[in-house]
Amino acid sequence: MTATPSTLLRVGRGRHPFDVELFTGLDRDQRYSFLAALLAWSMDTFDYFMIVLVMSNIAADPHFPATLTELGFLTTATLVMRPFGALLFGLWADRVGRRVPLIVDVLLYSCTGILCAIAPNITVLLILRGIYGLGMGGEWGLGAALAMEKLPREKRGLFSGLLQEGYPLGYLMATLAYLVITVLGVSWRWIFVLSIIPALTTLLLRRQVSESKAWEDTRKTMSANRTTIRDILRNRAVLRRFGYLIVLMTALNWMAHSAQDVYPTFLKSSAHDGGAGLSPTTASWIIVGYTLGAIAGSTVFGALSEKLGRRNTIMLAAGLGLPILPLFVLPRNGIAVLIVGSVLMMIVVQGAWGVVPAHLTEMSPDEIRGFYPGVTYQIGNLFAALNVPIQEALAAGHGYPFALACTVGPTLVAVVVVTWLGREERGVVFGAQPSLAIAHAGAADLRGRPADDRRADLDQRPGRRDAEDRVADRLAPAAAKVGAEPGDHDPRPDDPLTPRPPRAVERGQLLGEVASGLDRRRDHAPHAHAVLERARRALA
């Protein structure tokens, strides 16, 4: 039996998620792409918690007059600018490739980070943090897209979980950096200087990475089909999915922030305020414990998503958080129960997030994969920034257990519901499938018209052969179902519904999966299925 993408995909999905083979076989380009994305994601988290950790130090600096209220806008400025950075760098990367925009992006936030260390006042620091947000906004989406496009598709779930480890890793980096400046007794400005180390490492790795082949193939297809990015962005199916992913990322971000942002404060707050009343040292060790749990959870659930599917894994992880919630928020259960509850909660919360890099990139159309994941994530993250004020307001009136229960619980439910309402594209071949816009347009061209009219329309188009090739892509499963490969039938050059052998055979394995994907996604190409059925009868 000839090995097709579908059979290969089934074999890949049948592997044990922790098979040793899944960790081997990557070339240097793939390893560097993944490591650069991991460090960049770590920098994203490092950036967020770095400001939180040194905020009180900045406020106490007599040479830098600023109140805590004013300093609170530093994180706001970064969060607000991140979606714009994702938009600018994402669209640029979709036009010229991933490599150059990513290198420029790293240079932008590296240089801005150094300048933050010498900012003379709050106004300059605020402006610099906004520019820094532009750079960091463009980093995560592009880095994840490049890594996922280069990694083998049967390994995406596992490496998605490994990539998500960058979040707790960045938190640890920020904590260690803060400890260093505290122990050495140096100025808070040095924490910005230390941030240059992972940034420059990322830059050196990125310089060794080649361009994404999936992007190159997509650009060739767009050129052949005379499709522009504007055409893709105007498509209603693309816009609907864009809106859905923003809602999903808002729910996921809110779930993560509600579980972790004020939890250290809860551990150290007095019993009078509803806190656990633990010493800073004890609380710090618990934080280290549940951070390690988060690292384990992202890897385990990311790998499981290859067996269970992306959506099922996210729903499983979030659903498991509900029975854990009482152990997580009630201090009267004792410190041992709090430790177990916090570790388990971070395992499932970051477990759900371990699927996100693969899920977002697979859900993104090829033509705008640089733009799509980053913007949806950053907008969701911006909306979730409202979490901390809400939790603090609830805690002030009712205590931290109430605040945590009222925010973590509903967001866990929201993640389950929103994920259930969506779809997934696990194992999709990057650079090979037509976008939602192209598929819809191609199906619309064939809608219910006589063959002679369709042929005449295609004959009038300069890209007639490309149109025929797109139809051949849709007909590949029909040929396979009658025991033939695309191109085995006598071609009729004047019939646009007949597969043309040269390109169909050359692209062999991809055709079956492309058309099978169209056959499955009838909501995006409602007429493609009818065309396939007519072809099956004709070829039979």
pLDDT digit string (tens) for the chain, length 540 residues: 333 333 333 333 444 444 445 556 778 888 888 888 888 778 777 877 787 778 778 888 888 888 777 887 887 788 888 899 999 998 898 888 888 888 888 888 888 888 888 889 989 999 998 898 888 888 888 888 888 888 888 888 888 888 888 888 888 888 788 888 878 888 888 888 877 777 777 778 777 888 888 887 887 777 766 777 777 778 888 888 899 999 999 999 999 988 888 888 888 887 777 778 888 778 878 888 888 899 899 989 998 998 899 999 999 999 999 999 999 988 877 888 889 999 999 999 999 999 998 898 888 888 888 888 888 998 998 888 788 888 888 888 888 889 899 999 999 999 999 999 998 888 888 876 555 444 444 433 333 334 344 344 434 433 434 444 444 454 444 444 434 444 444 443 443 433 444 343 334 444 444 444 444 444 444 444 444 554 544 444
Same domain, 346 and 415: yes
pLDDT in the model for residue 466: 46
* Euclidean distance between CA atoms 88 and 84, whole angstroms: 6
Residue 422 contacts residue 247 (beta carbons within 8 Å):
no
pLDDT digits (tens, 9 = 90+) for 253-301: 999 988 888 888 888 887 777 778 888 778 878 888 888 899 899 989 9
DSSP code of 24? S
Rg (CA), the chain: 25
Q: Give pLDDT, residue 498.
A: 38
User: Do 400 and 452 fall within a single domain?
Assistant: no
> Would you say 359 and 315 are in contact if contact means Cβ atoms under 8 Å apart?
no
Residues 399 and 462 in one domain: no
* Residue where one domain finishes, among candidates 393, 421, 449: 421
Q: Can you say how many angstroms the Cα of residue 305 is from the centroid of all Cα atoms in its chain? A: 14
Separation CA 368–CA 530 (nearest Å): 28
- Give the number of domains in the chain: 2
Task: Report yes or no on 520 lying in a domain.
Answer: yes
What is the pLDDT at residue 461?
39
Give me the pLDDT at residue 250, please. 94
Q: Is 233 exposed, middle or buried (0-12, 13-18, 19+ CB in 10 A)?
A: middle
Query: Per the domain annotation, does 67 fall within a domain?
Result: yes
| Residue 528 included in any domain | yes
Match 């463009």 to its residue by tokens: 138
Alpha-carbon gap, residue 319 to 385, rounded angstroms: 23
Location of structure tokens 């958080």: 321
Residue 16 placed within a domain: no
Q: How many CB atoms lie within 10 A of CB 31?
A: 16
Amino acid, single-letter form, for residue 489: H
Contact 147, 34 (CB under 8 A): yes
0.75 surpassed by pTM? no
Tell me how far CA of residue 528 lies from CA of 474, 486, 525, in angstroms.
7, 17, 6
Residue 416 and residue 441 in one domain: no
d(Cα 337, Cα 342) in Å, to the nearest integer? 8
Are both 381 and 454 inside the same structural domain?
no
| Residue 11 located in a structural domain | no
- Residue 426 forms part of a structural domain: no
Residue 147: inside a domain: yes
The reported pLDDT for the residue numbered 93 is: 87
452-467 b/e (C-beta count within 10 Å ≥ 16 → b):
eebbeebeeeeeebbb
Query: Can you read off the two tokens belonging to residue 347?
Result: 């395992």
**Is residue 527 within 8 Å of residue 445, measured between CB atoms?**
no
What are the pLDDT digits (tens) for 458-470? 344 334 344 444 4
Report which secondary-structure segment, H or E, holds 350: helix 335-353
Residues 409 and 526 in one domain: no
Buried b (16+ CB within 10 A) or exposed e, 393-420: ebbeeebbbebbbbbbbebbbbbbebbe
Helix locations, 154-262, DSSP H? 156-164, 166-184, 190-194, 196-207, 213-225, 229-234, 236-260
Give yes or no: residues 131 and 244 share one domain.
yes
Let me know whether 268 and 121 are in one domain. yes
Q: Are 344 and 470 within one domain?
A: no
Q: Do 412 and 464 have their domain in common?
A: no
Residue 446: is it exposed, middle or buried by C-beta count within 10 angstroms (0-12/13-18/19+)? buried
Residue 36 contacts residue 206 (beta carbons within 8 Å): yes
Domain end, chosen from 395, 421, 447, is at: 421
* Residues 6+ away with beta carbon under 8 Å from 143: 36, 37, 40, 41, 102
CATH number, residue 226: 1.20.1250.20
Structure tokens at 142: 């592009």
Q: Range of 465's domain?
A: 436-539
Per DSSP, the three-state class of 238 is: helix
288 shares its domain with 326: yes
- Domain termination site, one of 421, 444, 479: 421
Dihedral Cα 191, 192, 193, 198, nearest 10 deg: 90
Half-sphere exposure (Cβ direction) of 292: Cα atoms closer than 13 Å: 7
Q: Can you tell me the distance from the alpha carbon of 367 to that of 4, in angstroms, rounded to the nearest whole number? A: 24
Helix, strand and coil in the chain, % to nearest 5: 80, 0, 20
Identify which of 373, 371, 364 has the alpha carbon closest to the alpha carbon of residue 431: 364
The whole-angstrom separation of Cα 430 and Cα 152 is 10
Does residue 300 belong to any structural domain of this protein?
A: yes
Residues 399, 337, single domain; the answer is yes
